[in-house]
A and B are shown apart, each in its own frame.
Chain A
Amino acid sequence: MNALAASATSTGEAVQFWVLGTVAVIGALCTILMKKAVHSALCLAGTMIVLAVFYLANGAYFLGVVQIVVYTGAIMMLFLFVVMLVGVTAADSLKETLKGQRWLAAGCGLGFGILLMAGIGQASLSTFNGLGRANAAAGGNVEGLAELIFTKYVFAFELTGALLITATVGAMVLTHRERTERAKTQRELSQERVRGKHLPPLPAPGVYARHNAVDIAGLLPDGTPSELTVNKTLRGRGQIRDVSGGAMADLKALEQRSEERLGREAGRENGRDQDASEVAK
Chain B
Amino acid sequence: MNPVNYLYLAALLFTIGAAGVLIRRNAIVVFMCVELMLNACNLAFVAFSRMHGNLDGQIIAFFTMVVAAAEVVVGLAIIVSLFRSRHSASVDDASLMKL
Contact = CB atoms under 8 A, between A and B. Distances in A.
Interface in A211-247: none
16 contacts: A9-B1, A28-B17, A28-B20, A31-B20, A32-B17, A32-B24, A32-B33, A44-B36, A58-B46, A59-B49, A62-B62, A105-B19, A128-B3, A129-B53, A134-B54, A164-B66
A266 interface: no
B11 to A, nearest CB: 4
B39 A168 contact: no
Contacts of A101: 22-23
A18 to B, nearest CB: 8
* Main secondary structure on B side of the interface with A: helix
Could you say which interface size class chain B belongs to? 35 or more
A31 B36 contact: yes
A176 B7 CA distance: 42
Nearest to B27: A86
B31 A66 contact: no
B1 A17 contact: yes
Could you say which interface size class chain A belongs to? 35 or more
Given A120-B7, A156-B63, 4 more contacts: A62-B62, A67-B42, A79-B28, A109-B19
Contacts of B51: 125, 127-129
Contact of B18 (A102, A109, A149, A156): A109
Interface in B49-66: 49-56, 58-59, 61-63, 65-66
